[in-house]
Amino acid sequence: MPEPVPSPPTSLVRRARKIDRVLAETYPDARCELDFRTPFELLVVTVLSAQTTDRRVNAISPELFAAYPDAVAMAGAPREDVERIIQPTGFFRAKTDSVLKLSAALVERYDGEVPGRLEDLVTLPGVGRKTANVVLGNAFGVPGITVDTHFGRLVRRFGWTEETDPVKVEHAVGALFPTRDWTMLSHHLIWHGRRMCHARNPACGACPVARWCPAFGEGPTDPAKAAKLVKTEGRA
């Protein structure tokens, strides 16, 4: 069981929700940038998205799922064929291993279906809490906070938490928002991190939440300089 998180100060809650509202207006299309049609596809593409771009994963996923549309088909796939298809996503041997083991575990333990509970998902080979929350939030409609590198960086810049452990970050930030907002909050922060609030050189001078951000000034504050740092596309 996670340690109970003390109630955050009201001023912090208000500021956090204001930032999320402005980000929601800034990124009305925010969503999972990986293409998928089923929970199984989302689970697989999330595993494949490690250390690469969503665009690369989206480029290979139609061929992968045309050949192996579900866990039963994928569990029986020839390793060399899966390796060939997913090679452009990098680390293809390890990723093939994960996808085959994951599919076999789904067939053996869940009749080939992806379970809709965090505690079950994290028992699957290669599935951590981050992947599980992506699947729950986007394929099952179960609110989840996805603490990836962008999310962690932004919440620390916003001063919402000083934690670095992803589970502690999840609980600290979760306490600031109603549960129903968790999935979209994750998308808003990840989109902002990919487009504007970069790890190095954040576009502070162009940032719509600058006035509520204690880290304003970490990147150029000059609007013209900052505008050049804004990416119109994210990771996709």
**Residue 81 bears catalytic tag:** no
Q: Which of 202, 220, 234, 235 binds ligand SF4 (CB under 6 A)?
A: 202
Identify the active-site residue in 54, 95, 130, 181.
130
Least Å distance, CB 32 to ligand SF4, is 22
Q: Which of 99, 131, 196, 220 binds ligand SF4 (CB under 6 A)?
A: 196
Distances (CA, A) of 144 to 131, 140, 141, 209: 10, 10, 9, 23
Helix axes 166-174, 129-139, angle to 10 degrees: 40
Closest to 206 measured CA to CA, from 16, 26, 7, 15: 26
Instruction: Kindly identify the residues of this chain, within the stretch 133-192, that bind ligand SF4 according to CB under 6 A.
Output: 157
Q: Which of 177, 204, 234, 235 binds ligand SF4 (CB under 6 A)?
A: 204
Query: Are the C-beta atoms of residues 174 and 13 closer than 8 Å to each other?
Result: no
**Residue 148 bears catalytic tag:** yes
- Taking CB under 6 A as the rule, does residue 215 contact ligand SF4? yes
Q: Which of 152, 174, 219, 220 binds ligand SF4 (CB under 6 A)?
A: 219
Least Å distance, CB 5 to ligand SF4, is 23
Quote the CA–CA distance of 149 and 140 in Å, as a whole number: 23
Is 204 annotated as belonging to a binding site? yes
Query: Are the C-beta atoms of residues 113 and 155 closer than 8 Å to each other?
Result: no
Least Å distance, CB 173 to ligand SF4, is 15
Stretch near ligand SF4 under the rule CB under 6 A, chosen from 60-68, 79-87, 129-137, 210-218: 210-218
What contacts 104, CB < 8 A, 6 or more positions away? 75
Outline where 68-148 has alpha helix (H).
Answer: 71-75, 79-86, 92-110, 118-121, 129-139
Quote the CA–CA distance of 47 and 94 in Å, as a whole number: 10
Q: Which residues are annotated as a binding site?
A: 197, 204, 207, 213
Contacts with ligand SF4, residue ranges (CB under 6 A) = 157, 196-197, 202-204, 207, 209-210, 213, 215-216, 218-219
